[in-house]
């Protein structure tokens, strides 16, 4: 049974996918777990990052790193410092002493990439894993292969009206809009647990 850390996750989707695959997976976030799971550590991931994990799937905050928000860096000087802090946190996770690492983030602007010093390994879309939606998701991988699509529904997605095909982009303002936009799609979580779980099975 491999020890899997799912960093910066409160939804529990990736954690539970790996637990269902037979691994000792724990999520960690400053927020409490949405599902109330006892397999969640509420706190700073840095306090458990070096506790001997076999694998880590991480979802660090992307607010100041994503390309879609790069223009805001020029509108508020304080955002540059927040961007640098976010990129350094990402870099710390990426360089953690863990053999198998996957870090997920949206398409990143060049300033953050320069600090991190590593380009994404692949870009996946929800429609590659059974969800007729679009959300370009980058994966930085170490010791793990690229994800293979499991259920390509791109043709179905292309037929949808724009507000459905780009559902996350068209979400109305709300207190939890940011949570809805950042949550991992179940099909992607399942693919991670199934495909990468096979590699971790060899550690048991």
- Please tell me the predicted confidence (pLDDT) of residue 173: 60
- Provide the 8-state DSSP code for 50: T
Per-residue pLDDT of the chain (204 residues; tens, 9 = 90+): 899 999 999 999 999 999 999 999 999 999 999 999 999 999 999 999 999 999 999 999 988 888 877 877 877 778 888 999 999 999 999 999 999 999 999 999 999 999 999 999 999 999 999 999 998 999 999 999 999 999 999 999 888 777 665 655 544 565 554 454 557 899 999 999 999 999 998 765
- Please tell me the predicted confidence (pLDDT) of residue 204: 54
Give Cβ neighbours of residue 195 (< 8 Å, ≥ 6 apart): 145, 147, 148
Q: What homologous superfamily does CATH list for 3-125+134-149+185-201?
A: Vaccinia Virus protein VP39 (3.40.50.150)
Q: How far apart are the first and last CA of the chain?
A: 5
The first and second tokens of residue 16, run together, are 């539970």
Domain positions in the chain: 3-125+134-149+185-201
Give Cβ neighbours of residue 64 (< 8 Å, ≥ 6 apart): 73, 79, 82, 83, 85, 86, 87, 112
Alpha-carbon distance 136 to 139, whole Å?
A: 10
Q: What is the dihedral of CA 78, 82, 88, 94, to 10 degrees?
A: -150
Alpha-carbon distance 188 to 190, whole Å?
A: 5
On whether the pTM is more than 0.85, the answer is yes
């Amino acid at each position: 049974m491999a020890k899997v850390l799912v960093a910066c996750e409160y939804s529990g989707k990736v954690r539970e996918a790996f637990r269902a695959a037979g691994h000792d997976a724990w999520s960690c976030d400053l927020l409490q777990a949405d599902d109330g799971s006892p397999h969640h550590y509420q706190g700073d991931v840095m306090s458990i990052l070096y506790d001997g994990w076999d694998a880590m799937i991480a979802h660090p905050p992307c607010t100041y790193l994503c390309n879609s928000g790069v223009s805001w860096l020029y509108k508020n000087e304080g955002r540059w410092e927040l961007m640098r802090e976010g990129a350094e946190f990402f870099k710390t996770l990426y360089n953690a002493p863990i053999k198998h690492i996957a870090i997920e983030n949206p398409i990143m602007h060049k300033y953050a990439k320069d600090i991190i010093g590593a380009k994404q390994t692949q870009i996946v879309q929800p429609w590659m894993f059974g969800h007729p939606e679009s959300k370009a998701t980058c994966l930085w991988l170490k010791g793990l292969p690229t994800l293979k699509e499991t259920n390509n529904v791109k043709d179905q997605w292309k037929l949808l009206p724009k507000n459905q095909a780009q559902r996350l982009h068209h979400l109305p303002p709300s207190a939890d809009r940011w949570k809805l936009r950042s949550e991992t799609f179940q099909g992607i979580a399942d693919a991670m647990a199934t495909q990468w779980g096979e590699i971790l099975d060899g550690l048991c």
